[in-house]
């Protein structure tokens, strides 16, 4: 009789264990992970999403992401002749020109970075970008602009002085009817943030969005840990990760002069143009990576700080408590310079 009750107890324990495991299994099966890939803005995108509810179809997520990308391009793309920014550039009246909430948002952030960087970030630099052959109109050229051509282009470059925005009425004013904006240094980041908002609206909290190497990471990865991000080595021949950081709920963007350039008379000319001098950057800083509260901010600041160069940029990063990594070419060796905030993110 005692043995009987022992057997019953054992069976009950086994049944309880089976039920517990079944509950855990069912609980875990309510979610799945996915990776989405595609092309946009002249580059690639990869989106990793963790813990997607089973009742939310991947097809639905993909469709909403594509809508966000289409909207971004229709507003910010200088390569689309029918985009909002292209129409604003083509408009020959000084204003007021009505703008969308999305464009207003981007311009507001661009104005903030322009102000804080003392003009090293400037979305009115379009005439200079075109003049040096790196824009959406011309292909690369080995013809170096004359001093006179640079000075003429600079007449249309000064974001602080040449544009005015009424944020309440969504109105844009040009101080010169020939003014043209180029949003390539901040548009990709905004597109990433827009996708992030889309995923959040679908109830998704854990994801990594990568468009051409610029990122937005939220929540945790598939191992329920912070996302571990590798930063590219500016020496592409080595193909090594130069740094690994441990982050969550951050935007990350890198800007470098080592991919898009041309050589004339033995000298390399970068696509990164200094809007103050009117010429491509020529200092030792090869790349800048910024980790910020969102991808729009990180994207714009990566360009601003690369134009400034490490010596000025590291001081600004410390003063504003920004997480920034500068990589410089010093006598043929790549050296890393980290701001105090960036050091906190490095995975040992």
Write out the DSSP string of 62-110. Answer: HHHHHHHHHHHHHHH-SS-TTSHHHHHHH--S-S-EE--HHHHHHHHHH
| Mean pLDDT score, 237-260 | 81
Lookup: tokens for 313 = 């940029």
Please give the angle made by the CA atoms of 47, 233 and 138, to the nearest 5 degrees. Answer: 75
Site of tokens 């901010």: 297
Q: Which is more confident, 293 or 134?
A: 293
Q: Is the preceding peptide bond at 96 cis, omega within 30 degrees of 0?
A: yes
Beta carbons of 128 and 154 less than 8 angstroms apart: yes
Percent of the chain with pLDDT over 70: 87
In a 13 Å sphere around the CA of 166, the CA atoms on its Cβ side amount to 11
**5 pLDDT more than 60:** no
**124 pLDDT more than 70:** yes
Read off the pLDDT band of 348 (50, 70, 90).
low
**24 pLDDT more than 70:** no
Per the prediction, the chain carries an average pLDDT of 88
Site of tokens 């089976």: 18
Give the span between the Cα atoms of 44 and 3, in whole angstroms.
Answer: 67
Q: Which is more confident, 23 or 274?
A: 274
pLDDT per position as a tens digit, 169-189 = 999 999 999 999 999 999 999
**13 pLDDT more than 80:** no
Kindly tell me the burial class for residue 86, based on how many C-beta atoms sit within 10 Å of its own C-beta (0-12, 13-18, 19 or more): buried
If one counts every other C-beta atom within 10 angstroms of the C-beta of residue 14, the result is: 10
Please give the angle made by the CA atoms of 45, 51 and 57, to the nearest 5 degrees. Answer: 70
Lookup: tokens for 326 = 């500068």
**113 pLDDT more than 50:** yes
| Mean pLDDT score, 228-241 | 69
**238 pLDDT more than 90:** no
């Amino acid at each position: 009789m005692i043995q009987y009750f022992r057997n019953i107890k054992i069976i009950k324990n086994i049944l309880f264990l089976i039920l517990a495991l079944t509950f855990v299994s069912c609980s875990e099966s309510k979610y799945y992970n996915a990776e989405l890939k595609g092309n946009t803005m002249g580059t690639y995108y990869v989106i990793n999403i963790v813990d997607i509810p089973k009742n939310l179809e991947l097809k639905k997520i993909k469709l909403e992401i594509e809508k966000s990308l289409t909207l971004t391009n229709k507003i910010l793309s200088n390569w689309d002749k029918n985009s909002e920014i292209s129409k604003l550039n083509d408009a020959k009246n000084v204003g007021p020109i009505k703008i969308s909430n999305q464009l207003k948002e981007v311009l507001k952030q661009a104005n903030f970075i322009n102000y804080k960087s003392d003009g090293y970030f400037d979305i009115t630099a379009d005439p200079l970008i075109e003049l040096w052959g790196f824009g959406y109109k011309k292909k690369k050229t080995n013809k170096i602009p004359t001093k006179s051509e640079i000075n003429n282009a600079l007449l249309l470059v000064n974001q602080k002085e040449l544009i005015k925005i009424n944020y309440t009425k969504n109105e844009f004013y040009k101080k010169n009817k020939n003014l043209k904006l180029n949003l390539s240094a901040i548009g990709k980041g905004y597109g990433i943030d827009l996708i992030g908002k889309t995923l959040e609206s679908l109830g998704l909290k854990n994801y990594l969005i990568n468009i051409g190497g610029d990122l937005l990471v939220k929540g945790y990865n598939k191992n329920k840990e912070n996302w571990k991000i590798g930063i590219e080595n500016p020496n592409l021949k080595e193909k090594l990760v130069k740094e690994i950081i441990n982050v969550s709920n951050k935007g990350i963007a890198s800007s470098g002069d080592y991919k898009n350039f041309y050589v004339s008379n033995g000298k390399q000319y970068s696509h990164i143009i200094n809007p103050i001098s009117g010429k491509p950057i020529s200092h030792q800083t090869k790349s800048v990576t910024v980790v910020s509260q969102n991808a729009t901010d990180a994207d714009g600041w990566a360009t601003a700080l690369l134009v400034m160069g490490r010596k000025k940029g590291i001081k600004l990063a410390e003063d504003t408590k920004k997480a920034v990594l500068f990589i410089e070419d010093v006598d043929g060796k790549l050296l890393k310079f980290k701001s105090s905030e960036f050091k906190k993110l490095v995975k040992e």
